[in-house]
Amino acid sequence: MSRSPASWATDALGAARENGPQHHVRAEYALAPDGTPGISPQVVENVARIEGVRVAAPLLTTLYTHDEDRLEVNGALVVDGAELKRMMDLEVVDGSLDALDDSTTVVPDLWGRPAGSTIEVLMADGEEADLRIAATYHALRGEDVAYLPQRFARTAIHARDGLARHAYIALEPGTDRTAAITAIRRAVAGTGARLITRDQLVASESAYARHLTEVRQRSVTVIVVMFCFIAILNTLLMATADRRRDLVVLRLAGATPGQVMRFFIAESLLVAAIGVALALIATALNLTGLWGALHQLFGTAPLTVPYAAITAVTARSTLLAVAGTVLPVSAASRARTVQLVGTRE
């Protein structure tokens, strides 16, 4: 089924996100899971032993912050401070990544906490800690995670599975690139991890996100569009069936059955055209507001307009409108003909 106009906003949001900083990755290469849920610490250690290769494997964990009388759940990544600066290109807005140590953290600016302040956190394993905020960085919704020092690595086992979703790799200056890449591929062979470039990582993550979005959209779209089509057909069937008097007046005025049918079809096409025009105006107003908001968030914010989907939805709605008119008019015409024949007999 074609994608509905309801998905245009998500398309625009996805396009804007892909034009912005993607995952803040600076590393040239990365390890990605290959048929496994993540990358084990042993694989990371094997790659880290290769001469001239630096590896950062952030562990996904969970931290809880106090918000008045409740705990707020937040995502966090455990990573070495030096490797964080080497592998990730965070847009620091306050403080410095150089201040990241075992007693500090880096948080997104969306949290509204300034650098230098202290944040009380509860970890997934029950440990409580007061961490000073070394820096805040600009983050998009969905990418607003805290960065924690390595001493919290054990909490990843309690919060998740203790596996890294990706491991970022950088080569030290002067390293033989071909030899290093060959050694990395040999070290990860058969371990459930594969070596990819940064561009491949960004492309795969974007493709996966788009796939999940499309699955959700299509599931909702099928339900919504089917109900809309049923409503259109039902409304027109009932409305046209109640206009038998108009049909009789047209026949008494001398209109032939064909002329009557063409009149009602033209009327249904006019109604469909008005409906499509109103829908396009409402959508344009909605997308204009969305574009303005995205422009403020991401700068460049292209809007994607699926013309094929517009044409398909318009054509199907028009066909249903015509069908919803033709069927009751045909039935009424046949009933009127039978009635006239019976009267003459």
More confident residue, 31 or 22: 31
Compute the distance between CA of residue 47 and CA of residue 186 in angstroms, rounded to an integer: 9
Mean pLDDT of all residues in the chain? 78
Q: Is the pLDDT score of 329 beyond 60?
A: yes
Tokens standing for 177? 């690139």
Compute the distance between CA of residue 294 and CA of residue 313 in angstroms, rounded to an integer: 26
Q: Residue 1: what pLDDT?
A: 41
Compute the distance between CA of residue 54 and CA of residue 274 in angstroms, rounded to an integer: 63
128-137 and 104-108 strand pairing: parallel
E runs forming strands in the chain: 29-33, 53-56, 59-67, 70-78, 92-95, 104-108, 118-123, 128-137, 146-148, 167-171, 193-197
Compute the distance between CA of residue 232 and CA of residue 226 in angstroms, rounded to an integer: 10
Q: Indicate the pLDDT class of residue 335, thresholds 50, 70 and 90.
A: low
Least confident of 58-67, 73-82, 330-339: 330-339
CB 150 within 8 A of CB 83: no
Segment of 5-9, 102-106, 328-332 carrying the highest mean pLDDT? 102-106
CB 163 within 8 A of CB 37: yes
Instruction: Summarize pLDDT for 164-198 with one digit per residue, the tens.
Output: 888 888 888 888 999 999 999 999 988 888 888 88
* pTM attached to this predicted model: 0.57
Instruction: Summarize pLDDT for 131-165 with one digit per residue, the tens.
Output: 999 999 987 776 788 899 888 888 888 877 778 88
- Give the H/E segment covering residue 216: helix 198-241
Q: Is the pLDDT score of 56 beyond 60?
A: yes
- The 3-state DSSP class for residue 337 equals helix
Q: Is the pLDDT score of 203 beyond 70?
A: yes
Radius of gyration of the chain (CA): 31
Q: Residue 275: what pLDDT?
A: 82
